[in-house]
Amino acid sequence: EQVPVRAFMSDLTEELGLELEERQVQFLYTDKMEQDLPVSLDRKRMHQALRNIVGNALKYGPEKGLVIKAELSKQGDLACLKLSDNGPGIPADKLPHIFDRFYRIDKERTKDLMSTGLGLAIARELVEAHRGSITACSEEGKGTCFTITLHFAE
């Protein structure tokens, strides 16, 4: 399906709206695209991928004062979406593993029995099924940032 990126982002923020409001999360969205362009994607699948990332920000981030930023930009032939949080961050030696299936950093950190360690593995599969890429960077104590790139529709 060909979806204009701006429409896609406003759908997404709408979908996340209530959850973010309830948690009193500051959600800051910046659109750096000069024009709206279509990307080819499966809305449901891409929403799922982004929900997994935002879900982590909510789960691992601070109870109060969580800020999630989203930035959309054009990088040549690619649409680039950056999602960042001001949560605890991920230690550099753990970062290469976070997309592995069943990988969870500190089983004590979240006493959450619902966590399986699959969220990011699924997110990566979904993004790669779109011929896109997803990478993470993080600084302990500062936060975590995910970058997703997608091809514009022909």
Compute CA distances 121 → 68, 76, 103, whole Å.
21, 27, 9
Residue 149, interface with Mg ion (CB under 5 A)?
Answer: no
Indicate left, alpha or beta for 72 from its phi (over 0: left) and psi (-120 to 50: alpha).
beta
Q: Specify the residue, 104 or 130, whose C-beta has the smaller distance to ligand ATP.
A: 104
CB of 153 to Mg ion, least distance (A): 29
Site for Mg ion in 112-141 (CB under 5 A): 119
- CB-CB contact of 151 with 75 (8 Å): no
Residue type, 6: R
Q: Out of 56, 84, 138, 144, which residue is the one contacting Mg ion (CB under 5 A)? A: 56
* Min dist. Cβ of residue 65 to ligand ATP (A): 14
Q: Are 145 and 136 in contact (CB under 8 A)?
A: yes
What is the per-residue binding string for Mg ion in 78-117, x denoting contact by CB under 5 A?
----------------------------------------
